Amino acid sequence: MTYFPEEVVEHIFDFLGSHRDRNTVSTVCKAWYQVERLSRQHVFVGNCYAIRPERVMARFPRMKSLSVKGKPHFADFNLVPYDWGGYALPWIEAAARCCTGLEELRLKRMVVSDDGLELLARFFPNFKSLVLVSCDGFSTDGLASIATYCRGLRELDLQENEVDDHGCQWLNCFPDSCTSLVSLNFACLKGEVNAGALERLIARSPNLRSLKLNRAISVESLNKILSRAPHLVDLGTGSFAVDDRAEAYHRLMNCFTKCKTLRCMSGFGEASPCCLKALYPVCINLIVLNLSYAPAIPSDDLIKLICHCSNLQKLWVLDCIGDKGLAVVASTCKELQELRVFPSDIYGAGTTSVTEEGLVAVSSGCPKLNSVLYFCYQMTNSALITVAKNCPHFIRFRLCILDPGKPDPLTNQPLDEGFGAIVRSCKNLRRLSLSGLLTDQVFLFIGLYAKCLEMLSIAFAGNSDKGMIYVLDGCKNLRKLEIRDCPFGDGALLKNVEKYEAMRSLWMSSCEATLGGCKALAAKMPRLNVEIINESGNLVESKENLSDVNKMEKIYVYRSVAGPRNDAPEFVWTL
């Protein structure tokens, strides 16, 4: 094949969808490496510190789309200090120097600054799409730059970011000439936007298909917007607070009757139960429904709504839906593929809202179910065994029993057998999160059966180093391992060090690994960055006082060709 002209090889590579496949073909020979790198348009960097931005830009000069991920996953749960790192600016600056043809940037868990956003807006003439997920560090001023300078912007998608509200009317900055918007999501913004400017923007965006409003947008505004954008496919509703006696409510119901293309809905931040009735006209067409930010809706009203949603493929709800509600989901939503049930009562004493019964019901009623995230107060081995039997096609199974280390309430046994059944039955399982009382036995099962597993999250589990060793030895495809509060120490950390080069990263916090163990790991594996994150006190001082037997509170190990970071804060020590 090397004797084919380059254009032919390039054309063949075009059929390779995934970046992993493209990575593979580029290792075949120098010629293929060259053809591949010059034709790659979508570049995915799973860990921003694994490689320097300049190297990425140099290798892929014709890059059109760049995705970068920053902080480790546990940063979502406040386990990573605020200024640990993950800065987007070096990536934007490097692209501004070499890849100004960039059209799309997707960042997850990174620190983005207003300066970075301005750079993005001004230096990339073809820039079309910005997607920021769980990022922080920027304000509405940065959004104003994007709105002002990006000609032909198609997508501005802000998902669950912490954005400072500087009060400036960023939405007003979209010029009258901007008519290209396809997707606009500002649901995470806390501040007000000018309703009139929004309505005018929507009126001149004929291609708009996805719109997610924030809570500041009233139902009156929503009505005006829907009447201007009847071809919306994806809608985040804004406050959705309306009384069903008000005229606005009737207008809303009327608008929804005209929205024939609506397939996905989210928002409902202030929705009261009566508002949901306005949705009945669209329910039959919905494939995605996210009610997980609507805490004021009791189970019975959710049930009435779900009864109309027989084509649902993805459902996110709060646990106030109850087992009864999940039974209705099971009998109604026969197309369901993904279910997420979030806890509604994080701070209080809690009432039992969903138990193992709800999960069993859905597993039994929904034959296409392949992805579950389930927060509950209890789980039994027999329920997990039943779920495993009902759903051999799981690719994602994340169970969070809210009491750490809680056993099976019927038998008082650990949940080893239950999770063992899951990994034995679900041969394509790629992601697994464990909880409840678990011994080393569950890890034996995981190492033995979870051959496709790529990501594993463990908390308050295991008895000894053996647990972690089973996983590292057995899970051939493991890419990310994150562990907290488990009794795994140096023995586990050092047993299979080569494994970490085949993985993206390892996170261990509140475990038993010591400084000596980490030093040994760093010495054996120079292509790994072994970061110690020590927030208590000044690390520089305590470095002298730290002995090799001290246990390290937070360890983050990741493969890297970039060497130690040059932007690490004081409390991060790369060995």
Identify the residue among 293, 313, 331, 335 touching other proteins (CB under 8 A).
293
575 sits near other proteins (criterion: CB under 8 A): no
Instruction: Kindly tell me which of 307 and 402 has the beta carbon lying closer to other proteins.
Output: 402
Which among 383-391, 481-489, 499-507, 526-534 is the span making contact with other proteins, rule CB under 8 A? 481-489
- Of the candidate residues 46, 191, 343, 392, the single one contacting other proteins (CB under 8 A): 343
Cα distance from N-terminal residue to C-terminal residue, the chain: 45
Binding mask 153-172 for other proteins (x = CB under 8 A): -------xxx----------
Q: Of the listed pieces 15-23, 141-149, 407-415, 561-569, which binds other proteins according to CB under 8 A?
A: 407-415
Q: Cα–Cα distance between 389 and 185 in angstroms, integer? A: 39
Q: CB of residue 383 vs other proteins: minimum separation in angstroms?
A: 14
Contact segment (CB under 8 A) with other proteins among 240-248, 328-336, 418-426, 567-575 equals: 240-248
Minimum CB–partner distance for residue 190 and other proteins (Å): 8
Nearer to other proteins, 246 or 549 (CB): 246
DSSP state of 296: T
246 binds other proteins (CB under 8 A): yes
Q: Which has the closest alpha carbon to 414: 388, 442, 450, 446?
A: 442
Contact of 292 with 314, CB cutoff 8 Å: no
**Does residue 536 belong to the site contacting other proteins (CB under 8 A)?**
no
Determine the Cα–Cα distance for residues 494 and 356; give it in Å rounded to an integer. 37
Name which position in 47, 183, 221, 534 contacts other proteins (CB under 8 A). Answer: 221
Phi/psi of residue 381, each to 5°?
Answer: -65, -40
Compute the least distance from the CB of residue 96 to other proteins, in Å.
29
Helix (H) or strand (E) holding 470: helix 465-474
Cα four-point dihedral sign 380, 382, 386, 388:
positive
Q: Is 16 helix (H, G, I), strand (E, B) or coil?
A: coil
Which of residues 177, 347, 544, 566 is near other proteins by CB under 8 A? 347
**Phi/psi of residue 334, nearest 5 degrees:** -75, -10
Of residues 354-383, those binding other proteins (CB under 8 A)? 375, 377-378
Instruction: Find the shortest distance in angstroms from Cβ 352 to other proteins.
Output: 5
What Rg value do the Cα atoms of the chain yield, rounded? 25
Question: Tokens 């919306």 belong to which residue?
Answer: 232
Least separation in angstroms between CB 470 and other proteins: 17
549 near other proteins, judged by CB under 8 A: no
Q: Would you put residue 155 in left (φ > 0), alpha (ψ -120 to 50) or beta?
A: beta
The size of the interface with other proteins (CB under 8 A), counted in residues, is 63
Contact 560, 49 (CB under 8 A): yes
Eight-state DSSP code of residue 471: H
Q: Which residues contact 158 (CB under 8 A, 6 or more apart)?
A: 132, 143, 185, 186, 187, 188, 189
Query: Which residues would be at the binding site for other proteins (CB under 8 A)?
Result: 74, 76-79, 134, 160-162, 188, 195, 218, 220-221, 241, 243, 245-247, 269-270, 292-293, 295-296, 342-344, 346-352, 375, 377-378, 400, 402-409, 412, 414, 433, 437, 439, 457, 459-460, 462-464, 484-485, 487, 510, 512
